[in-house]
């Protein structure tokens, strides 16, 4: 079977996720790009340093805002290996991300196509374009392996 190639930014997000697993963190990775330029790459890191907000998306958005010198990442896109939770979807909206690409869906914790569906509320001030599924097998496999190894 021939599959569409995974975009370079999603490959980098998957690599970041893989590295997180090696560090004992839940393997999720995120990349912020502006056009063809990678602005920030981050992995999930909630254990070291201890940070309940240390999801890959939050860390990538913070880093990108610091680098670009603007709290609004207008024109930037976010690639992440897992469907964002409510916290991260809210942050994506605050950051004015133009396009959100995520790999695996997350029925348990996702808040884009599941649960709170943050972007679908009238209250949501900025909605990114959303694309899902590219790289989902790779992203889901990283998570499955991680949790299987920890049982």
Of 11, 34, 99, 117, the one binding a copy of itself (CB under 8 A) is 117
**What secondary structure, in 3-state letters, does 84-95 show?**
CCHHHHHHHHHC
DSSP 8-state symbol, 25: S
Among this protein's residues, is 137 annotated catalytic?
A: no
**Binding to a copy of itself in span 50-109, by CB under 8 A:** 50-54, 58, 61-62, 65-66, 68-73, 85-91, 93-96, 108-109
Under the binding rule (CB under 8 A), the answer on residue 34 touching a copy of itself is: no
Under the binding rule (CB under 8 A), the answer on residue 130 touching a copy of itself is: no
Under the binding rule (CB under 8 A), the answer on residue 132 touching a copy of itself is: no
Pair 134, 4: CB distance under 8 Å:
yes
Q: How far is CA 110 from CA 64, 81, 82, in A?
A: 23, 12, 8
* Distance in angstroms (rounded) separating the CA atoms of residues 10 and 60: 13
Under the binding rule (CB under 8 A), the answer on residue 27 touching a copy of itself is: no
126 is in an annotated binding site: no
Residues labelled catalytic:
57
């Amino acid at each position: 079977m021939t599959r569409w190639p995974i975009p370079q930014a999603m490959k980098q997000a998957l690599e970041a996720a893989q590295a997180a697993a090696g560090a004992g963190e839940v393997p999720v990775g995120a990349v912020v790009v502006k056009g063809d330029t990678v602005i920030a790459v981050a992995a999930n890191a909630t254990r070291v340093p201890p940070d309940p907000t240390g999801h890959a998306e939050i860390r990538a958005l913070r880093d990108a805002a610091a680098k670009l010198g603007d709290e609004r990442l207008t024109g930037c896109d976010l690639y992440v290996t897992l469907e964002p939770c409510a916290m991260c979807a809210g942050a994506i909206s605050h950051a004015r991300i133009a396009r959100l690409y995520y790999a695996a869906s997350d029925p348990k914790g996702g808040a884009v196509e599941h649960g709170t569906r943050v972007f679908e509320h009238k209250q949501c001030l900025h909605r990114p374009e959303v694309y899902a599924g590219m790289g989902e097998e790779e992203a889901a496999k990283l998570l499955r392996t991680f949790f299987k190894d920890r049982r």
